[in-house]
């Protein structure tokens, strides 16, 4: 039996992306705000507390004035979960997404942070976005916009462990990534981690892990234990908000996993600054 396809116009996708770009860059995620507020409440170190207070105040100012939370409005990532029952009409998908980013970033007074060539650089613009698509069994499209700042993206690391490696070595690696980032990437951090798949999949999972609510731990008991262990260790590093010391160097560790090869154990770490921004909608 052939089911009728649900038609979604490219324009509708572009409009949604534009709206999400504004929302993601201007309004801090409620889960991120919640963990920041709780960190502020618990911080006794005077300088660290003043930094957390400034972060919360900044979120208020950005929302009230409709300005981006951070001048680094990121390399725009757009994740699309496209239902296999959807037919996209009236234009190309990538063009529609990039048009939406341009409109959304422009209206929100973002920064043109994307150069057209990594070596010869050139004049910066809002686009192209990095677009990830996945085909899922539904008749809808879920759109997520994730502006990823590069102060934190620059600290990304991948390590291919031996499959016989002890879990504590993985924890040690993740903690070392944070130690090496120091105060460069705007702590307190949220740490995304991808374990499994191949090198590319691990890196993608690490980034996607940051899209999960930072108050929610992994439903997988092995991963949950690792998340808790890493968070505790990271918070003993003493880096603190903006490098000012205190007890919160990270606010959350989110780990995602995928099956992998018998010979391998890839681990990728993608750090986010305290201004972890994303917004999603279903069409």
Partner 1 sequence: MKILHTPLSKDKLAGLKAGEQVLLCGTVYTARDQAHKLLSEVLRKGKKPPFELASGVIYYCGPARAPRGRAIGSCGPTTSSRMDAFAPLLLKAGVVAMIGKGGRSQEVAQAIKSSGAVYFITYAGCGALLAKSVRKAALAAYPQLGPEAVYRLEVEDFPLIVGIDATGGKIRGL
Pick the stretch among 77-85, 161-169, 218-226, 236-244 that binds partner 1 (CB under 8 A): 236-244
Largest CA distance in the chain: 67
In the complex, least distance from residue 246 CB atom to partner 1, rounded to whole angstroms: 8
In the complex, least distance from residue 276 CB atom to partner 1, rounded to whole angstroms: 10
Pick the stretch among 137-145, 212-220, 261-269, 270-278 that binds partner 1 (CB under 8 A): 270-278
In the complex, least distance from residue 244 CB atom to partner 1, rounded to whole angstroms: 6
Which 8-state DSSP code applies to residue 3?
P
The binder of partner 1 chosen from 90, 163, 172, 238 (CB under 8 A): 238
Give CA–CA dist 15/100, Å, rounded.
Answer: 6
In the complex, least distance from residue 237 CB atom to partner 1, rounded to whole angstroms: 9
CB 256 within 8 A of CB 204: no
Give CA–CA dist 272/278, Å, rounded.
Answer: 11
Measure CA 160 to chain center: 22
* By the rule CB under 8 A, 169 interacts with partner 1: no
DSSP states of 193-252 as a string?
A: EEEES-HHHHHHHHHHHTTS-TTPPPSSHHHHHHHHHHHHHHTTS---GGG--SS-SEEE
The binder of partner 1 chosen from 240, 251, 265, 266 (CB under 8 A): 240
DSSP states of 37-79 as a string?
A: HHHHHH---HHHHHHHHHHHHHHHHHHHHT--SSS---EEEEE
* By the rule CB under 8 A, 242 interacts with partner 1: yes
Q: Shortest CA distance to 58 belongs to which of 74, 72, 42, 69?
A: 69
* By the rule CB under 8 A, 191 interacts with partner 1: no
* By the rule CB under 8 A, 21 interacts with partner 1: no
* By the rule CB under 8 A, 32 interacts with partner 1: no
Which 8-state DSSP code applies to residue 185?
T
The binder of partner 1 chosen from 75, 93, 136, 183 (CB under 8 A): 183
Number of residues that bind partner 1 (CB under 8 A): 44
The binder of partner 1 chosen from 121, 134, 221, 262 (CB under 8 A): 121
In the complex, least distance from residue 263 CB atom to partner 1, rounded to whole angstroms: 36
CB 194 within 8 A of CB 205: yes
**Which CB atom, from 61 or from 95, has the smaller least distance to partner 1?**
61
CB 46 within 8 A of CB 129: no
Pick the stretch among 13-21, 131-139, 160-168, 177-185 that binds partner 1 (CB under 8 A): 177-185
Measure CA 33 to chain center: 15
CB 177 within 8 A of CB 253: no
* By the rule CB under 8 A, 31 interacts with partner 1: no
Place of tokens 């490219």: 10
Residues binding partner 1 (CB under 8 A)? 47, 50-51, 54-55, 57-58, 61-62, 65-73, 109-113, 121, 123-124, 149, 151, 154, 182-186, 238-240, 242-245, 273-275
């Amino acid at each position: 039996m052939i089911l009728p396809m649900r038609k979604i116009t490219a324009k509708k996708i572009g409009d949604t992306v534009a709206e999400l770009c504004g929302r993601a860059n201007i309004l801090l995620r409620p889960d991120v705000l919640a963990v920041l507020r709780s960190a502020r409440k618990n911080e006794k170190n005077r300088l660290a507390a003043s930094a957390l207070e400034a972060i919360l105040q900044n979120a208020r100012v950005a929302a009230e004035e409709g300005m981006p939370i951070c001048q680094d409005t990121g390399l725009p990532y757009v994740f699309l979960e496209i239902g296999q029952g959807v037919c996209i009409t009236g234009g190309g998908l990538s063009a529609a997404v990039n048009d939406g980013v341009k409109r959304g970033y422009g209206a929100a007074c973002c920064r043109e942070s994307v150069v057209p060539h990594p070596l010869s650089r050139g004049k910066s613009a809002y686009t192209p976005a990095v677009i990830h698509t996945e085909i899922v069994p539904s008749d809808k499209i879920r759109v997520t916009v994730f502006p990823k700042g590069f102060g934190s993206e620059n600290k990304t690391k991948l390590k291919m462990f031996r499959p016989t490696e002890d879990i504590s070595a993985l924890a040690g690696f993740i903690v070392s990534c944070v130690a090496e980032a120091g105060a460069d990437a705007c702590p307190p951090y949220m740490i995304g981690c991808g374990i499994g798949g191949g090198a590319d999949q691990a890196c993608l999972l690490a980034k996607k892990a940051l899209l999960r609510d930072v108050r929610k731990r992994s439903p997988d008991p092995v991963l949950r234990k690792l998340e808790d262990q890493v968070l505790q260790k990271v918070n003993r590093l003493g880096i603190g908000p903006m490098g000012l010391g205190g007890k919160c160097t990270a606010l959350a560790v989110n780990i995602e996993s995928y099956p992998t090869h018998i010979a391998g154990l890839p681990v990728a770490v993608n750090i986010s600054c305290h201004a972890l921004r994303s917004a999603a909608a279903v069409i």
